[in-house]
Structure 1
Amino acid sequence: MAAIESRDVSVKELFQKFYIVPRYQREYVWGKNQVTQLLGDIRSEQMEGEYSEYFIGSVVVCPSQTERGADDLIDGQQRITTLFIVLCAIRDRLSALGEENLEGIKKSIVDVDTDQYGNDCHRARLEPQYKDAEGVFDDLIEGRKITSKDTRSIKNISIAYNVVKDFLSNDLDDSVVEIKKFFGYLMANVKLIKIYTDSFGRALKIFETINDRGIGLNAMDLLKNLLFMNAEKTQFEYLQECWKFIVDELYKINEKPLRFLRYFIFSKWGVPRLAKDELYEWLINNDKKIGLSDNPVGFTEKLKEALKAYAFFLKKKDSRGEQNYILENISFLYRKHTSARQYLVLLLAGRNLSSEVFSALCRDIESFLFVCILVREEIRTFEALFAKWSLLLSRVRTMEDYKAFSKETFQAQKKKHSSKFYDMFRSIDNRSLPKYQFDYVLGKLTQAVDRDAYGSDNPLSYYCNTKEIHLEHILPQKSDCDVYKEFGLGADDPSLIWSIGNLALVEKSINMSLGNKAFSYKKRIYPKSRYLLTRIISEKPDIGNTAIDRAVAHMHPFDEWNKNTIRQRAQWLAELACTVWNVPSEHYGRELDMGGP
């Protein structure tokens, strides 16, 4: 036999052999869309005529390393598994419709084979060995309903089976004649290229060549193939366990595998830019640097360790699994945008820092991100910058090292935006930011003042809980005669009503008593609030010589409320914001370390 054989085969010819899906293969990942499209394409081609053929790609096989008389399926597992599910669903539907002559289709699913002792035994045409398959294939083969959905693979197989069942009922009208015609077309006219090799190593090499640069499979799949190509056979089981953890964890946290892989590379090697379709080529070209060939297990372990920390970060925890309120703060900035995660590059780079230094990094990231949001600096443009900073961060060991790093990176960048930050902050209204970011701003200001004045340890989520803490418009959204009389012209101006200078946070109970009343009434109520930033509107308590006391020393209570006082308070809050987000400001004239979460 030649080392490599390649020929066109029909689905019927394909399922005359027995196939093993090795343990190291990824689980079944096709979803509803892929199965629906495959069935639709086959059906459309069938409608072109009985001689029309439909090509669905290639498969790569080699003699099985574990099962005599079978082939290991190296490439094409998703398509072949889907075809096997289709055959099972057709058999079950025809049987349910009363068709009894099903020997042909049954032999394509299970047939008699001879074991090593010369005994006949029934054997499935497709046998997955990966753990996620569990007993689901037994259910398929026996025509039982799939009840367990404990793993992603089982869930996807169940979804695929139901998609096929719906297709047979809806598109083929549950007609025995039409279903059998479709089955006949599928078996005879749907073609594949079957590539047979004499060895596992050669099969993997062909797999890599066919999928060069991510064509057909993505870089994560090709990376796995590359790791197994370079690993010893004795390492396969452990390598598969590590890879299964990576795949399962990415699924649990709902993260795109290629994004995580890119961020890992950025954080580790400081690559400035790398598109998804360039990942695999970069891995190949930088093999010596990253150790794929020399130590595939070691590389996989590093990837696994990084993913553990990555998953913790998305859960607002540090790399040790401890709750981190600063990471929770960052989540408030991007509550509606799961794609805005570039900051994870820096967190990955700093995951092994001490708790104190890591918290300082998180504070700087939060501050930097908000400054960029407010001045409308496109965050995605900072991927290259964060990758560059990751290399600098890798040299940090002590807090002194970190302060020097922060000055060179975060502070230098924020200084460029300081004037624009101040100007835009004092102009903030409901058109400037989405509501969730607006809530973040008011919550952050209120929290910072309370923390430094009273030592409050309430997390930011406490101040952003709209059920207990309400947004107060000092100039009401709906003004009555008393408000118009006191405020004058502009009492119904949205730009004033929603100005940052006109907004405060108050307790639910206090807000109910404030209502839409005039300022002459409200100013007697504000001092009852526990939030210092709200109390300062009409009363200035003596809180001692604290950082915030100094920061708000220029703020004074108001006796009346009008356009000028709204603008004045907006300016004061902008000056306070420069302190809270640690932005160098010529307007404020000094930088204060707000610290804490």
Structure 2
Amino acid sequence: MATAANAFSIGSILSAPDALVVPRVQRPYSWESTETKELWDDLIEFHKRYPGNTIKSREYFMGAIVGQRKNDDDGSFVEILDGQQRLATLTILLSVLRDQLHSENPSGAHKIQIGSIEKLGSLDGPAKYQLTLNKIDRAYFRQEIQEYPGGEVKESNIASHILIKKAKDFFNRKFTEFASEEKCSTVDFAHRLYGIVTQNLRIVFIESDNWDDVSDIFERLNDRGKGLSTLNLLRNHVIAKSPVNQQDDIEYAWEQVYSLSNSASKVDTFLRHVWITYRGDVKKQSLFKEIKAVMASPDAPERLRDPFKFSYNLASDAETYKRILASQHEDAGCARWLRAIQTLGATSLLPATLSACDDWLDVKSQDFLLRALVVTFVRHSIIAGGDSSTLETAVYKVARDIRHGCSLEVALGTLRPLLRSDKQIEADFSTLSVPNSKSGYQRHILEELENHMSAAVKDPSSQPEKGPSGSSVLWIEHIYPQRPGKKWERWKEHEMLVNRIGNLTLVHNKLNASASNKPFDEKVDIYRESHVQLNAGLATFRSWTPQSVQRRQVALAKMAPQVWPRF
């Protein structure tokens, strides 16, 4: 048959003779609270916009569903290639309406079950359902959502199962809240929503019996704008093109990748970072097309061309990436720099970090390279205010070079041109101001200055009760307050000086609250009590003025080239 596209109501799709089946190439249920809330809000807004019978001729378009019509021993069915998340979520909502009607209107509940969730079958045969999810979610979805009346369902820790249960609980809660606020009966409100979902919601159903045609439509719909993530597109492509006897193992490898996060954008970022380590910089919008083209090229290395090897290498990288994001490393020095990268929010460093932590050379080399990446980021991006694209070009080259086995010296040689001279770093640091929106920058700078100053102190009694690196005990404190009260005169240069490094310090959580907007002469005693070396010199100031900020910052600037040294 030729490719066909027709508009249908959701009710007609869910009650059609042919069952809807989600194939194994599709990822598990992934809608989070943002998507379910958006759907609920849209339905309520539609309900309010068209009161009473005025709603009958109105339509609400929900996009397109792409499917391939197939046959097996049980007859024909439609394999859903795109749109399963919407269909699954609407089925969850219908199950909530069914359960809400269960006690007061059992016949209505039965109508929802048989009309939209379960197919009408024989008396002695097993129940058959309108929608069948993929292998991972199938059994749980049936027990939690589709079976009626349902029994006790064992709690699951699988991410997609948790999201299914969260969606169900969300719709139950919002239904009860709205019915109470609007003072309408459960039965009337359930019937109203059921009518909107099954009659007013409409989709364009695109179908064909040719896989290549359907797959092409699917990719065109999702490889631009809002749609499936790049990782979803790639997973579907890899599994569909792999031998049947390898699909279980490949699917397992991809589940390890998805375990990184429930957020599609975060996992897509990981995929881009991995690809940078192999091929260099690539923009997010063209990532799927480039990977697909490379996998199809006979000249590509086997680890990128073979679906099995590609998937398992990706799963291995996902485990390494997960440890990086958690700042976990067998070596304490490496772990320290991983924490620094997270504190800074320096995502541009992650591709090179991934390459370095993936069995590259020895731990000593990894530690040196990670430190060099952090130093480069601080000197180039924060202190000197260098261009981010220049940094990315260098770091992405390092990522690729390391993946291909370069030496430590080659990697360092790529980064050195970004370091600036020590004289320039000291001059730039002496006027450095870091806004609160970059609190990670503030924290890293203050922590590293404190580490440097503390290392020179031999008396352990003068040390803070916990070292600053990775500490949640030490808080960032503005000496001249962000919102000066009656005890502080607001400086004319307030905006320019309040976030200068010379005006920032670290204090213990318990001391930060007590310092607050107190005058400087009272704050000094609190700073002294903290035993933080950054605060040791504050007692030499009789008052705190704009000149004091500059004097302190110049002193700190002299340390900057030592704290973030050239390599």
Q: Return the TM-score normalized by structure 2.
A: 0.75
Pick from 344, 349, 352 the counterpart of residue 346 of structure 1.
352
> Which residue is 1:249 aligned to?
260
The whole-number CA distance in structure 2 between the counterparts of 1:331 and 1:492 is: 35
The whole-number CA distance in structure 2 between the counterparts of 1:161 and 1:510 is: 45
> Which residue is 2:375 aligned to?
367
Give 1:359 shift: 0.7
Pick from 375, 395, 399 the counterpart of residue 390 of structure 1.
399
Gap change, CA 1:200 and 1:463, over 3 Å in 2: same
Q: Secondary structure at the match of 2:26?
A: coil
Gap change, CA 1:184 and 1:330, over 3 Å in 2: closer
The whole-number CA distance in structure 2 between the counterparts of 1:43 and 1:570 is: 56
Q: Deviation per CA, 1:22-69, whole angstroms, max 9, x where unpaired?
A: 334211112334334334545655725412333322231333669665
Letter in 2 for 1:421: I
> Which residue is 1:35 aligned to?
36
Letter in 2 for 1:391: R
Query: Are the aligned partners of 1:529 and 1:535 in contact in 2 as well (CA < 8 Å)?
Result: no
> Which residue is 1:581 aligned to?
564
Q: Secondary structure at the match of 1:373?
A: helix
Residue 294 of structure 2 corresponds to residue 286 of structure 1: yes
The whole-number CA distance in structure 2 between the counterparts of 1:106 and 1:363 is: 60
Q: Secondary structure at the match of 1:462?
A: coil
Residue 336 of structure 2 corresponds to residue 358 of structure 1: no
Alignment of 1:51-70 (within 5 A): 51-56=57-62, 57-63=64-70, 70=77
The whole-number CA distance in structure 2 between the counterparts of 1:451 and 1:105 is: 70
Residue 119 of structure 2 corresponds to residue 111 of structure 1: yes
Gap change, CA 1:459 and 1:114, over 3 Å in 2: farther
Gap change, CA 1:460 and 1:103, over 3 Å in 2: same
> Which residue is 1:186 aligned to?
197
Coordinate RMSD, CA, aligned: 4.8
Give 1:79 shift: 1.5
The whole-number CA distance in structure 2 between the counterparts of 1:496 and 1:55 is: 53
Structure scoring higher RCO (CA < 8 A, sep ≥ 6) equals 2
Alignment of 1:63-82 (within 5 A): 63=70, 70-82=77-89
Q: Does 341-350 or 567-576 show the bigger shift?
A: 567-576
Give 1:498 shift: 9.2
Letter in 2 for 1:463: P
> Which residue is 1:483 aligned to?
none
Q: Percent identity?
A: 19
Alignment of 1:95-244 (within 5 A): 95-108=102-115, 109-113=117-121, 120-132=125-137, 134-140=139-145, 141-144=147-150, 148=155, 150-166=157-173, 168-169=175-176, 170=178, 173-198=184-209, 203-213=214-224, 216-244=227-255
Letter in 2 for 1:151: I
Residue 267 of structure 2 corresponds to residue 267 of structure 1: no
Which has the larger Rg? 1
The whole-number CA distance in structure 2 between the counterparts of 1:217 and 1:449 is: 50
Gap change, CA 1:53 and 1:321, over 3 Å in 2: farther
Query: Are the aligned partners of 2:30 and 2:163 in contact in 1 as well (CA < 8 Å)?
Result: yes
Alignment of 1:298-447 (within 5 A): 298-318=309-329, 324-334=335-345, 340-352=346-358, 353=360, 354-371=362-379, 372-377=381-386, 379=388, 382-394=391-403, 396-397=405-406, 401-406=407-412, 408-415=413-420, 418-428=422-432, 437-447=441-451
The whole-number CA distance in structure 2 between the counterparts of 1:44 and 1:472 is: 46
Q: Does 287-296 or 132-141 show the bigger shift?
A: 287-296
Gap change, CA 1:124 and 1:299, over 3 Å in 2: same
The whole-number CA distance in structure 2 between the counterparts of 1:113 and 1:248 is: 38
> Which residue is 1:555 aligned to?
none
The whole-number CA distance in structure 2 between the counterparts of 1:35 and 1:91 is: 18
Instruction: List alignment gaps of at least 5 residues for structure 2.
Output: 485-490
Q: Deviation per CA, 1:344-396, whole angstroms, max 9, x where unpaired?
A: 02112323322111111111111112222123335466333322332343455
Q: Does 130-139 or 80-89 show the bigger shift?
A: 130-139
The whole-number CA distance in structure 2 between the counterparts of 1:421 and 1:19 is: 63
> Which residue is 1:9 aligned to?
8
Letter in 2 for 1:445: L
Q: Secondary structure at the match of 2:386?
A: coil
Query: Are the aligned partners of 2:234 and 2:288 in contact in 1 as well (CA < 8 Å)?
Result: yes
